[in-house]
Structure formats: structure tokens, C-alpha cells
Structure 1
């Protein structure tokens, strides 16, 4: 079940500008909500693929992720609940900062690039990623910053280099 956005899509501010009170859409405004939304990642155990679903608190599927562990290229496709491809994530091979690219739908064409994600440094004890929207070709200042911990299964997404939180992932107290 997608949560409708009662507000129109807003242009994303520069990294130095404060975040607006209304959420900004990167993938689509239908995936923005002006309030926190609890979601759960549900992964099937003992499968060859890297597929999983994301559900709301009532168990309704919100997103599906298709991936494969048996391919040379690391690639994942994010689908909506109906199975329509939203984003294809592809890892770039032979990069120093473990770079990923996100494209619209199932495309991997440069004209469909949405954003690029890379590790902020080669050696990390806690995850720190920089996200650059497609029109940010200089990549001198990131559009989003992601800080987190794989062990704690949590992360926080910030607007640019600011401390303005735009998204947060926490491990459910049910699974601690």
C-alpha cells in the first residue's frame, strides 16, 4: 500500500539550505509522507536469490526488491507493491569508493540516472555514504549523507552536509 502525498512535489534545496517542512521526492511524490511511516524488511531464508519485500505495520507489501547472488554484476531492482519497476541499483565495478548508481525503472542508461552513492572513505568502521543526485555532476558537496551501522541495523539519512534528518532506519525492538 502506497501512502499518498497530500503535498505537491517540491524542488530539492541546495545542501546549504535548510530542509523544507514538506518532504521532497527523489523517486516519486507518492512515496513521500509528512509523518513517520513504520516499514519492515522481510527476507526469505535459504534462497539462492537476494529477493525480499518491505511491508507496512499491517503486513501489506509496500515494496519488493529483486536481486541475484549468482551474477557477475551486482544489481537490484526496487519494485512497487504491484511489481512495477521503480529503480534499478547497479554497483560499478572497479571503483575505489564502492560506488552504486540508481536508474529509473529497469534502465541502466545514463539518461535515466537518478543518483550515485559512494562510500565517503575507503576504510570505515561505521558506514558513511554520500549520495549525489544526477544533476550534481561535480560531486563536491553531497545531496544526502547516510550514516549507520550494519551491526546495529540502523542508519540516518541527512540532507547534504547538514544535520537535518530526512529518513531514519532502526532495528525493530521485536528483533533485538
Structure 2
């Protein structure tokens, strides 16, 4: 998967190294340009109208955690917590603890965490 930022705080994730619009798997965008807490709306490629998001991410990077939900529901599909260690403080190497629920694509969750990391750095 390749992850790239487009205009308007929108991220597109494509199959392989492609950046072609025909290879987009999903896109994610922030709810607002300035956010105190991270909120992402995630749209699968076949959701062309984007009236309702397919997934949403809510969290706080300062609190080093987020929760990923299915659509607008309260159904949690994954959770992430950043682990604080000497290495992360001194060497700048972050470690994450991720809980992925059954029947959820791990690569999808990792791509969302990469986007969150990029947004917050």
C-alpha cells in the first residue's frame, strides 16, 4: 500500500506503489483543519458520494491513543495506544500497542495509524 496526502487534508491509500486514482483502496480526511482531538472520516473507494463515512477514527495524539469505529456506529474495530519508553523519549522511536478486533484487516489499521502519525507530526 502507498499512502499519500492530497489537497485539503485528504489522504489516499492505493494498492502497491501506485498513485493512480483507479487503484485507490480508501481515502481519509480530517473533519476540520484545526483539531484539538484527532477525528478522521474514512471512505472506501466505492463510497463515491461520501455522505456517510465507512469508518471513523477518534483520538488524542497528546494522550497517545485512538479508537477506530465502523461507520457512524459505536462498534469498535481497533484501538491504539502509544507506549512510552526510554527509547521513545531519548531516541525518538515510537512504539504502538494496537488491538485489532476479529475479521478486521491489519494492513488497513496500520495504514490508518501511519496517517495519524503523519497528521500529528
Structure number with larger C-alpha Rg: 1
**Which residue number in structure 1 is paired with residue 114 of structure 2?**
none
**Which residue number in structure 1 is paired with residue 4 of structure 2?**
90
**Which residue number in structure 2 is paired with residue 129 of structure 1?**
40
**Which residue number in structure 1 is paired with residue 13 of structure 2?**
102
SS in 2 for 1:161: coil
SS in 1 for 2:22: helix
**Which residue number in structure 2 is paired with residue 31 of structure 1?**
none
**Which residue number in structure 1 is paired with residue 80 of structure 2?**
169
Residues 134-149 of structure 1 aligned to structure 2 (within 5 Å): 134-149=45-60
Higher helix share: 2
- 1:121, distance to aligned residue in structure 2 (A): 1.8
- 1:110, distance to aligned residue in structure 2 (A): 1.1
- 1:122, distance to aligned residue in structure 2 (A): 2.5
2:68 pairs with 1:157:
yes
The CA distance in 2 between the partners of 1:104 and 1:113, in whole Å, is 7
The CA distance in 1 between the partners of 2:14 and 2:40, in whole Å, is 18
- 1:152, distance to aligned residue in structure 2 (A): 1.5
Unaligned runs of 5+ in 1: 1-86
**Following superposition, which runs of at least 4 residues in structure 1 exceed 2 angstroms of deviation?**
171-176
SS in 2 for 1:115: strand
- 1:173, distance to aligned residue in structure 2 (A): 6.4
- 1:146, distance to aligned residue in structure 2 (A): 0.1
Cα deviation, 1:96-143, whole Å, max 9, x if unaligned, reads xx1000000100011110001000122311000000000000000000
The CA distance in 2 between the partners of 1:167 and 1:118, in whole Å, is 18
- Number of residue-to-residue matches in the alignment: 87
The CA distance in 1 between the partners of 2:18 and 2:84, in whole Å, is 37
Aligned Cα root-mean-square deviation (Å): 1.6
Cα deviation, 1:45-65, whole Å, max 9, x if unaligned, reads xxxxxxxxxxxxxxxxxxxxx
**Which residue number in structure 1 is paired with residue 99 of structure 2?**
none
Cα deviation, 1:67-94, whole Å, max 9, x if unaligned, reads xxxxxxxxxxxxxxxxxxxx1001003x
